[in-house]
Chain A
Amino acid sequence: MSGTTPQGSAGTRRPDGATLVVALILAAIAVVIWRDAARLPQAGGYAGVGPADVPRWIAGGLGGLSLWSVIEAFRSGKTDREAQNVGPILWIVGGLAAQLALLTTAGFSIATGLLFAATAAAFGKRNLALTVPVGIAFALVVYLLFAGLLKLSLPAGPLEDLVWGLFRGHNGGTPA
């Protein structure tokens, strides 16, 4: 559900910044769609409605909603919202970014383990010396279950190779 506490303050007539930003984003998307549609051929065929037409309608709709938002922002005035903690958000976004960056090189377990630790940190468990190893171990178990048992193709890295090698008693070949 919504986490906002809208309080239309009658006295101040400052526009609501968030709504203005939304209007701006919508306008930007509309422009991108419109420009993309412009390079498409008019291949409506028998329908008369081609690949570029529906994008134009949607761009038009977004433009209209953008205008509506501008009006709304000035009409309703500034809205107070509950302040958010930026720290935890950055931890999680950072964790996802780290996973994305490391996935192909470090393999599933290490990359996902870092995500695990970062998320735990966002929720208050900041002891990385504990959470990183726990996360990597947890991700490795998940990897073995899903890649081994269920044959899901998950990116393997040095850690996965090592574990497969250890269990087999010889060092498995490097996967591509």
Chain B
Amino acid sequence: MKHTLFAGLIAAALAVPAYATDYTIIAPAAPGGGWDQTARTMQEALQGEGISDSVQVQNVPGAGGTVGLAQFVSSAQGKPDQLIVGGYVMVGAILTNASPVSLADVTPIARLTGEYEAIVVPAASEIQDINGLIEKLKADPGAVSWAGGSAGGADHIAVGLIAKAAGVDPTKINYIAYSGGGEALAAILGSQVTAGISSLGEFKAQADAGTLRILAVSSDERIEGVDAPTLKEAGLDVALQNWRMVAAAPGITDDQKAAISADIEKMVQSKTWQDALATKGWANTYLAGADFQAQLDKDIAATGAILKDIGLVK
């Protein structure tokens, strides 16, 4: 009985798609996180659409993705079957952790999805709009406490950019870091802090339920279904997308890069991928080639500058 069970399980184990690896995707995070989910979704789409016979996902968690990035740079050199998932958080982590490798050491392929930041206050707050918050910030920066994700992450950077755009010294912001928007939410709803900032998705349900008020979003244009202006409309020149991307190994040839880019583009256009985006609530912010490279360079420069301003990077 036991033996037949084992035999059955092994047979089932072997029934999974072929082992011959067409792509290995490094998810520089623990199983379950956003990057891991991105990698696993890519795996499903690439295999499901027959773009690749077999895709393996490997988790190398640690330090905002920089541990995985470092391993990728050293072990994948010149290998066209190696991919790594990453994101905007990595840009900041590379700087704050003084990582020996950076995104310049890999071959960025495309931006895949992204989320925008939302600035919220509890429904009971006296602050009615973004201008009201900025007024308070200008009057006494220390009295405005912001709850958001971890120090040096996209949320923190966004607050720094807002302060700078409003003419307030970014080192004076009273930013209170939580491990993520979800944990910060309790403090925001309980009116423990003045305002909250995190990915729109973290706040959407509470805003729809009327317990939170969204003051502004960090997108370039208004987001459908969200009754809030962009920061730009409010006169603050801040736009920020917390994006996720895929990159290839360093030292690959242009032909190899073109082949990978073609595979990824095919994947992004596939039904499997689009369906997965819809079910997971991820926005399709696909951007590839020179446009992506330009956007990436811009983000890296802006992030480096603001992290220096906040005082997180010397």
Residue-wise interface mask of A (131-153) relative to B, using a CB-CB cutoff of 8 A (1 in contact, 0 not): 00000000001001101110101
- Taking CB atoms, residues of chain B closer than 8 Å to A148 are 10, 12-14, 16
Complex: A141 Cα to B14 Cα, angstroms:
12
Q: How large is the interface on B (under 10, 10 to 19, 20 to 34, 35 or more residues)?
A: 20 to 34
Contacts of A175 in B (CB 8 A): 19, 21, 24, 56
Bound-state Cα–Cα, A153 to B55, Å: 12
Tell me if A124 counts as interface (CB < 8 A to partner B).
Answer: no
Q: How far is the CA of A1 from the CA of B81 in the complex (A)?
A: 52
Count residues on chain A whose CB falls below 8 Å from chain B CBs: 19
Nearest-Cβ distance from residue B1 to partner chain A, whole angstroms:
16
CB-based contact A149/B142 at 8 Å? no
Closest to B175 in A: A45
User: What residue of chain B has the Cβ atom nearest to residue A148's Cβ?
Assistant: B13
* Interface 0/1 of B33-59, CB less than 8 Å to A: 000000000000000000000001111
Within 8 A of A (CB), among B81-113: 81-82
- Complex Cα distance, B75 from A66, in Å, reads 45
A165 to chain B, nearest CB (A): 8
- A85 vs B16: C-alpha distance in the bound complex, in angstroms? 46
Q: Report if B121 contacts A (CB, 8 A).
A: no
> Can you list 18 A-B contacts with CB-CB less than 8 angstroms, sorted by A residue number?
A46-B174, A141-B10, A144-B10, A144-B13, A145-B10, A148-B10, A148-B12, A167-B14, A168-B18, A172-B18, A172-B20, A173-B20, A173-B21, A175-B19, A176-B24, A176-B76, A176-B79, A176-B81
What residues of chain A have their CB less than 8 Å away from a CB belonging to chain B? Answer: 43, 45-46, 141, 144-145, 147-149, 151, 153, 164-165, 167-168, 172-173, 175-176
